[in-house]
Amino acid sequence: MRITLSTAALAATFSLVSHTSASWLPRPQRGIQGRDSCSTTLTETLTTTTCPAPTRTYTRTTITETVTVSHTVTTIGDETITETTTVTDEETITALATVTEEDRITATVTETTNSVDTVTATATITDKETITNTVTATATITDEETVTETCVPVTTTVTATIPPLPVATCNNAGFQVAYWPNPYVTTQLSSLLPERYKTLVPTKNSTTQSAGLSSTVWDTGNFYGFTPGPNNVQIALMYRGYFYAPVDSTYTFKVVLANDFAAIWTGPTAYSGYLRSNANIVAQSAAGTGVATNVAFTKTITAGTYLPIRIIAANGDAGDGALYLSITDAAGTVYLSTAVDSPYIIQRGCTGDSTPSYPLWGHES
């Protein structure tokens, strides 16, 4: 007796998990507005720390699983066989005897023998077959992945070149300056609207590398190439251009003394859209005193910035006009003071649109 056992194979499938690491991006660098080059430089160093693609360390764990399948089949069979054999033995013998005539005897002998044999045989056959089929399947499964990511910071140092002075190589040093007659006497200065001069062509215009006038100079009626004459200085005087900030700082813009009126604008409204109502400061003498003193405001400026600036001063009588002013940083460094030439003021830039020329006098908006 034959028994056939069919056994299925065992299979295991494994996959590794793929890890995608995050990206580190550098911190944005600070922008520098309207910056020109210069042979002498001030160095500002900006340091940023970034993390590149991480170093990966892989640790793999292998799990081995052994499966044993044992299959035993036992067949036992008992069979009894009874065999009967019948044997028939029949024998006929005919004997013929012949004798002499004298005897005249004839004899016939017939002998019949019948034999029946019955045999009963009992056979017991024990057929016992034991089949043991053992299948051993071994599957190696790698189903665990440990990823160690190590970030090694990289420090990048960027050195920006900041000129200590503005570029003044295109005939652009100093402020533009102009004057008009001022119709408002001292007691009427509250009615003075500086914006009226946007569309009035000035009596005269010029340039200057300083700003502000002492009372002595104002009273002479001879400054910046203007000659209104002594005792004829009831005028409005206006400066416009750009202030160059050489360092990061909070700057103070101050009218130290105005006789009789002054106002300052900085930023976009200094270039266009200036009004008495949107000035950074307005300094006006009180009736009867003749002067206004120590009116100031502060502004934080990034190094290398060209800041639009406009200043107006007006005198309400025929004499005794004056404008004293200053620009300083938080450390007390003075960049502009009364009637002192300053390398930090320009009329326009030499390159690009960040410091455009102002419109013609009398054609402003």
pLDDT at position 195 is 97
Residue 6 CA: distances (Å) to CA of 2, 12, 134: 13, 20, 11
**Residue 291: which residues within 8 A CB-CB, separation 6 or more?**
257, 258, 259, 260, 285, 322
pLDDT for 251 equals 98
pLDDT at 317: 87
Q: What are phi and psi of 331, to 5 degrees?
A: -85, -5
Q: What is the pLDDT of residue 129?
A: 58
Counting as low any pLDDT under 70, the low residues of the chain are 1-152, 154, 156, 158-160, 287-289, 352
pLDDT tens-digit series, residues 326-335: 999 999 999 9
Spell out the domain ranges in the chain: 1-79+123-163, 80-122, 175-346
The answer for residues whose C-beta is within 8 angstroms of residue 343's C-beta and 6 or more apart is 165, 166, 168, 173
N-to-C CA span, the chain? 116
* Number of Cβ within a 10 Å radius of residue 217: 16
What distance in Å separates the CA atoms of residue 44 and residue 47, rounded to the nearest whole number? Answer: 10
Across the beta sheet with 249-259, what order do the strands follow? 292-301, 249-259, 322-328, 334-337
Angle (CA) 130-136-141 rounded to 5° is 160
Choose among 154, 158, 209: nearest CA to 32.
158
What pLDDT, on the 0 to 100 scale, is given for residue 290?
72
Q: Tokens 């089929």 correspond to what residue?
A: 133
* CA-closest candidate to residue 290, choices 153, 216, 187, 157: 187
pLDDT in tens, 97-110: 444 444 444 444 44
Beta bridge partners of 329: none
> In this structure, is the dihedral angle defined by the CA atoms of residues 221, 224, 227 and 228, taken in order, positive or negative?
negative
Give the strand pairing for 249-259 and 322-328: antiparallel
Query: Domain 175-346 class?
Result: mainly beta
How many beta carbons lie within 10 A of that of residue 63, not counting itself? Answer: 12
Contacts of 66 (CB under 8 A, 6+ apart): 136, 137, 138
Q: What is the pLDDT of residue 122?
A: 56
Q: Sort residue 221 into left (φ over 0), alpha (ψ -120 to 50) or beta.
A: left
CB of 221 closer than 8 Å to CB of 230: yes
Per-residue pLDDT at 147 = 57
